Structure formats: C-alpha cells, structure tokens
C-alpha cells in the first residue's frame, strides 16, 4: 500500500514536470477597441421675449412695442458645421413675420427675429451667414442686412462663417460652441388695440431646429 502511494506520487510529479513547457505562451493578442460616436449638437435659448404689460395709450401709431433680446447657445461634442432654421407656431402672410395670434378673428399683430451680424464661435467673432436655398449658397448679414431677419416658415438657414481661401465666397465654419443674441421686435394692430375694453394677452413660440451641413 505504501509503495503504491509512492508510485502514484512519482507519476503525478513526472506528468506535472513534463507539462511545464506548455504553460509558456508562444503568441499574444493586441486588443484594439473603441466606440464611434456621431457628432451631435444641442441648441438652447436663455430667457424669453417678455414685453410685459403695455398701456394701450402708450403704443405709438405704428404699433411698435419695442425689442427684446434672448441669448442662444449651441454646444457640440466635436467640431462640425451646423445651421438652424426657424419655424413660428403661427405665421402671417409674410415669411419674415410670426403672428401674435388673433382676437375674434382679428390679428393682434406680429413679431420679427433678427440675428444681428456676428456671434461668438469658439471664442472668436464670426460673421452670421444666411441661405435661402438650403445651403447651396450663403449671404453675409453684414453685406445685406435683409438676411438678418429670420424667415419664420423654416425656409432659411442661419450659420456662422468666414471667407474661403480665395476670398471669393463665404463658407460655414466648423466649430464646437456658438453663443449669440436674437433681437425680437413686436408690433400690434392699432385698429384692434384702440378699441380694447379688456386686457388682451398674447403668447407664442418659434422653434429653432439644427441642421447639419
């Protein structure tokens, strides 16, 4: 019985000894991995264009209520070219004007949104560009002030850019962050406001939607 145990131990030891070279790796793998994340941007509006309470007697003959400003910001997870379009909840017959609504089927008035001529793009001032052909060509809001007013039916694009290397055309910039200001002007229908006998409130929205270029 004792000899049998010795023999078994000897066999086991011998097998273990003979197996040692097989533990040494003759090859190794290089692991390569990653996750591809599409470029994505978010747009935010800070503040609202609140015209407050206006006494009808103080409204000028042209119905102008003045202007309010709101700030917008765009943040992207990588450099890209992007523009935005604007769609008002309600429109007038003019694409540049959003409706303030109606009172008994009578127009209360309208508002416009102006982009100005420049915005902060990654810490540098860039000219604001506009396109009315879905980005095929771009116009400078500095050279033509009419492009500063957004088309509120979604038919125009707004972006930020520079001149091409040849200096012959304007091209959208690639960026990660944009900060700018929108100027909202409101005008009311004096024929309506002059006959008011009670308070009349208005509230509406315009949606800015990003489009990658």
pLDDT tens for 44-57 read 999 999 999 999 99
Domain ranges of the chain: 63-212
For residue 17, pLDDT over 60 is answered with no
49 neighbors 68 (Cβ within 8 angstroms):
yes
Strands (DSSP E) along 47-174, which ranges? 64-80, 82-88, 98-99, 102-103, 106-107, 109-114, 118-121, 124-131, 139-140, 157-163, 170-172
pLDDT tens for 137-188 read 999 999 899 999 999 999 999 999 976 555 556 889 999 999 999 999 999 9
Please state whether the predicted TM-score (pTM) of the whole model is above 0.75. Answer: yes
pLDDT-derived band of residue 23, with 50, 70 and 90 as boundaries? Answer: low
**CA-to-CA distance for 203 and 89, rounded, in angstroms?**
10
Fold exhibited by the domain 63-212: Immunoglobulin-like (2.60.40)
Strands 109-114 and 139-140: unpaired
């Amino acid at each position: 019985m004792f000899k049998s145990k010795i023999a078994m131990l000897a066999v086991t030891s011998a097998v273990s000894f003979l197996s040692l070279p097989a533990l040494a790796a003759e090859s190794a793998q290089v692991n390569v991995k990653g996750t591809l994340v599409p470029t994505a941007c978010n747009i935010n509006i800070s503040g609202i264009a609140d015209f407050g309470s206006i006494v009808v007697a103080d409204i000028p003959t042209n119905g102008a209520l003045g202007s309010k400003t709101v700030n917008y910001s765009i943040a992207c997870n990588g450099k890209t070219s992007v523009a935005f379009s604007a769609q008002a909840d309600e429109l007038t017959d003019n694409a540049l004007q959003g409706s303030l609504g109606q009172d008994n089927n009578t127009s209360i008035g309208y508002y416009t949104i102006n982009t100005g001529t420049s915005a902060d793009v990654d810490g540098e001032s860039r000219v604001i560009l506009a396109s009315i052909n879905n980005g095929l060509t771009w116009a400078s809001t500095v050279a033509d002030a009419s492009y500063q007013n957004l088309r509120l039916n979604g038919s125009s694009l707004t972006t930020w850019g520079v001149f091409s290397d040849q200096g012959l055309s304007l091209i959208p910039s690639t960026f990660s962050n944009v900060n700018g200001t929108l100027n909202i002007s409101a005008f009311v229908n004096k024929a309506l406001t002059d006959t008011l006998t009670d308070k009349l409130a208005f509230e509406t929205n315009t949606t800015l939607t990003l489009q990658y270029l």
